[in-house]
Amino acid sequence: MSGKNKEVIDLSSSLSDIWKMLTDEERSLLRSSARILHFKKNELIYLDDDSPRYLMCLFKGKVKIFKSGVGGRSQIIRIIRPVQYFGYRAYFARESYVTSASAFEACTVCMIPMELVEQFLRNNGDLALFFIQMLSVDLGIADQRVVNLTQKHVRGRLAESLIFLKESYGLEEDGATLNIYLAREDLASLSNMTTSNAIRTLSNFVNERIITIDGRKIKIIDEERLRKISRIG
């Protein structure tokens, strides 16, 4: 490649999921069309109402997909970790984006033109099934989320989010600290509550010795308890 990027990225390993399903010809086509972009912390990746043009694959960093609802109150719909694909749903649905995406922290994203993806999967059953499976899994999660967010109480929703963050981004070396530092506001918009409620409930959890907090660092002390709170709502 023309050396425009500082680091050299090996598409074949970074895109391994998809890469191994392609023919040589498709691979070279992909190599010449894919572009690597970098986003700074909090930078927008795409916006509600934009028209979807790229399949995006997150190589590095953390991304949030969010929606602004009634009265501008925004809600995090899902979060993306490396290596996951995003930004393609609207294109397949023949819609504009109904969500926005932004970088939680500095990100490296591979952009692949959707026309190319569509062309590939028309002739490649494995690839088609790969997308069908991703969409099916996400739809199941979305259905579950509707019930969780509407029927669980504040404590249950926050507990669930903490577990979700742990399972998405994992823990630091100490085996307890969440490997992502979110603002209380983001934690709230992930759990469908106001910032005050997130703060308050978080301190309750601290008092009950379920977690400890140090600024944005959250350490999970009693995961079993957290899971129970999440389960019973």
Interface with DNA (CB under 7 A): 153-155, 183-185, 192-197, 199-200, 202-203, 213, 215-216
Nearest to 230 by CA among 184, 137, 162, 139: 162
**Distance spanning both ends of the chain, measured CA to CA:** 52
Tell me which of DNA, its own copies, none is bound by residue 155, counting a contact when its beta carbon lies within the kind-specific cut-off of 5 to 8 angstroms.
Answer: DNA
CB of 121 to its own copies, least distance (A): 6
Based on its alpha-carbon atoms, the radius of gyration of the chain, rounded to whole angstroms, reads 19
Three-state DSSP at 131 gives: helix
At 159, list the tokens.
């507990």
Interface with its own copies, residue 47, by CB under 8 A: no
Burial class (CB in 10 A: 0-12, 13-18, 19+), 226: buried
Q: In terms of CB distance, is 135 or 213 closer to DNA?
A: 213
> Applying CB under 8 A, which of residues 62, 89, 155, 166 lies at the interface with its own copies?
89
> Applying CB under 8 A, which of residues 10, 13, 24, 94 lies at the interface with its own copies?
94
User: Which range binds its own copies by CB under 8 A, 56-64, 68-76, 101-109, 210-218?
Assistant: 68-76
Tell me which of its own copies, DNA, none is bound by residue 213, counting a contact when its beta carbon lies within the kind-specific cut-off of 5 to 8 angstroms.
Answer: DNA
Question: Which helix or strand (DSSP H or E) is residue 212 part of?
Answer: strand 211-214
CB of 92 to DNA, least distance (A): 33
Query: Torsions phi, psi of 192, nearest 5?
Result: 55, 60
Q: In terms of CB distance, is 32 or 207 closer to DNA?
A: 207
